[in-house]
Amino acid sequence: MSCEITEVTVVPQTGLKHTATLIFMHGSGWNGELSKKDLEMVYGQQFSFPHIRVIYPTSPQRPYTPAQGVLQNVWFDRQAVDISASEDVSTIEPMAEELSKLVEKEVSLGIDIKRIVVGGFSMGSSMALQMGYCFRPDVGGIVALSSFLNYGTNVYKVLESRPEAEYPPLFMCHGESDEVVPSAWGENTFAQLQQRGVKGEFHTFPGLNHNLCQREVELLKEWLVNLLPDV
């Protein structure tokens, strides 16, 4: 099964110079274009910056076990959408290699690796957490919205093996009424990452289900601008 990213939706910076990049990954069953439209609909306007390019890649299709093996756009496979389930490293690792190519393409355009943020929504941000704290700890930041890592994730083992390392800061959000990914899973993930040296912030939103909200996107934009100021 191919892991190649064949479709990428790009929102260029609105100013003259591109000096930073956000790579934002969609949730399971979606694609980059839908992810872009969802962010814009919730935010109420285009989600753009004077100097930050926003990239929305689309994952390859693969048989997805929680959907009875039906082909879906997903970043990796898993036994179940459950924090207690085992993660499928055999599908995560090749996807991380493919996403690393996207990161390296931005570097080849002259973007400092520390000015590249990787993030996403739901499964997309689970993949972002894998990237930032297992495969590409050299990036500048990680965004995880409505997401979690499994209890036995390899990410925790990698962090424990590098106790003195510095890791990208984390911006994490979760709806308190999420019925797909309970907020307790997100809180547990953030706490586990903190215990292993990851620094960041965690925001919850009362009444929010497995969706984005305007205040969340506003906070995300503020965080990005503070982390990646115009230069």
The residues carrying an active-site annotation are 122, 178, 210
User: What 3-state class would DSSP assign to 217?
Assistant: helix
What DSSP string runs through 132-199? IIII-TTSSEEEEES----TT-HHHHHHHH-TT-----EEEEEETT-SSS-HHHHHHHHHHHHHTT--
Closest C-alpha to 55, from 87, 88, 101, 23: 23
Orientation of helix 154-161 relative to helix 183-195, angle to 10°? 20
Give the strand pairing for 141-145 and 116-121: parallel
Orientation of helix 32-43 relative to helix 214-227, angle to 10°? 100
Are 54 and 24 within 8 A, CB to CB? yes
